[in-house]
């Protein structure tokens, strides 16, 4: 498996402290378009599901209270550079203002063939796979990542 032939998909689920039109979520919602525009222009960005607050087809995810983010990147390094820079960094640092703490995994990554995009259903299934089975070559976390070839990538603190 050649790394050039693979892209990194990610899903991130967050439970909001209020509905998208509530006063508690106003600051977050007001920044969302700009945060998404930064993602779209970020080096290594490939694709994102643009319906973050829409119905997912999964009854466990209330579209008014659960934000589902799915995106595709050319590498983990590109995703990481975006997450920890610019406006997204501010949102990430302030996440406890808008989202409740989740004990279970709420973020998962997996490799997909270049030129494909995951469905939201596939993405939520990958998250559930990580929750049920833990990290492995088919789905993994930040602290326990895998290369497209299946080798574990040592975590650097």
Per-residue model confidence as pLDDT tens digits over 46-93: 999 987 555 555 556 666 788 899 999 999 999 999 999 889 999 999
Termini Cα distance of the chain: 27
Confidence class for position 155, pLDDT limits 50, 70, 90: confident
DSSP conformation letters of 30-42: HHHHHHHHHHHHS
| Confidence (pLDDT) at 100 | 95
Tokens of 57: 């087809």
Check the CA dihedral 106-71-120-66 and report its sign: positive
| Confidence (pLDDT) at 157 | 54
| Confidence (pLDDT) at 1 | 46
Predicted TM-score (pTM) of the model is 0.90
* Contacts with 85 (C-beta within 8 Å, 6 or more apart), sequence order: none
Which H/E stretch holds residue 122?
Answer: helix 120-133
| ∠ Cα 86 24 31 (to 5°) | 25
| Confidence (pLDDT) at 4 | 59
pLDDT at 7 over 70: yes
Spelled out in words, what is the top-level CATH class assigned to the domain 3-152?
Answer: alpha beta
């Amino acid at each position: 498996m050649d790394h050039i032939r693979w892209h990194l998909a990610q899903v991130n689920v967050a439970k909001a402290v209020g509905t998208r039109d509530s006063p508690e979520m106003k600051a977050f919602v007001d920044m969302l378009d700009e945060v998404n525009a930064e993602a779209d222009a970020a080096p290594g960005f490939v694709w994102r599901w643009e319906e973050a607050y829409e119905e997912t087809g999964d009854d466990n995810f209330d579209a008014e209270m659960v934000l589902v983010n799915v995106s595709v990147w050319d590498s983990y390094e590109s995703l990481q550079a975006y997450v920890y820079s610019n406006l997204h960094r501010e949102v990430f640092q302030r996440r406890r203002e808008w989202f409740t703490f989740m004990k279970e995994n709420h973020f998962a990554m997996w490799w997909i063939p270049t030129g494909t995009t995951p469905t939201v259903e596939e993405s939520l299934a990958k998250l559930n796979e990580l929750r049920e089975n833990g990290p492995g070559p088919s789905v993994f976390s930040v602290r326990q990542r895998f290369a497209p070839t299946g080798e574990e990538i040592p975590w650097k603190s």
